[in-house]
Amino acid sequence: MGLAYVAPIGLQNLFVINSALGQPKHRALLTALIVIFFDIALSLSCFFGIGALMQRYHWLQAAILLVGSLIVIYIGVGLLRTHPTTQAPQEVVTALGKTIVTAFVVTWCNPQAIIDGTMLLGAFHVSMPASSATPFITGVALASVVWFLSITLLITRFKTVFNARILRVINLVCGVIILLYGAKLFATFIQLTF
């Protein structure tokens, strides 16, 4: 269940993949660990109660959708504007502070992750006996660790086959997907408020 929650292509996965493509292996692994930290924190929050707040306060859900959709659109535009060079990917190292902030944003400012996590993990928490809660959420956390480290190691292992043109196509595809995703979130905000 944890893999089903974390594996769908979303902002976190795209961030980890781009990091693995453009950073040295040790920095890509550090980025994956930072994303894992924020992902597990979000999973725990969704499992233990953020859903109750969002169900109780519809204005909070609307605010998360509005702010999140704008952030997602901003990230998509940024990907579309990125022009990878033919330099070796190992030569580009993102500042640690920027990595932490971006990992936080793609996790905690992603309304779809919050809503999906709340609905999926919150629903499981309500429907299971108390004795099963700890093993279940531990499995979700382990799935996050396995997933993000696996894709990071896989991409860093084979990143030499990616050239600037392929990276540009990947960024364009990811940027368009993220823009459409942001537009969908904004449309959901409009439907919710009007």
* pLDDT tens per residue, range 88-142: 444 467 889 999 999 998 888 877 777 777 767 776 776 678 888 889 899 999 9
- Sketch the domain layout of the chain as residue ranges: 2-193
For residue 49, give the DSSP letter.
I
More confident residue, 123 or 58: 58
- Secondary structure of residue 82 in the 3-state scheme: coil
Residue 118's closest CA among 36, 42, 188?
Answer: 42
Query: Which residues touch 177 (CB under 8 Å, ≥6 apart)?
Result: 9, 14, 76
Which of 76-80, 123-127, 169-173 has the weakest average pLDDT? Answer: 123-127
- Secondary structure of residue 119 in the 3-state scheme: helix
Residue 11's closest CA among 84, 76, 64, 55?
Answer: 76
- Provide mean pLDDT across the span 21-49: 91
pTM, two decimals, is 0.73
Query: Which residues touch 5 (CB under 8 Å, ≥6 apart)?
Result: 43, 116, 117, 120, 121, 140, 143
What is the pLDDT, as a whole number, of residue 90?
45
More confident residue, 190 or 173: 190
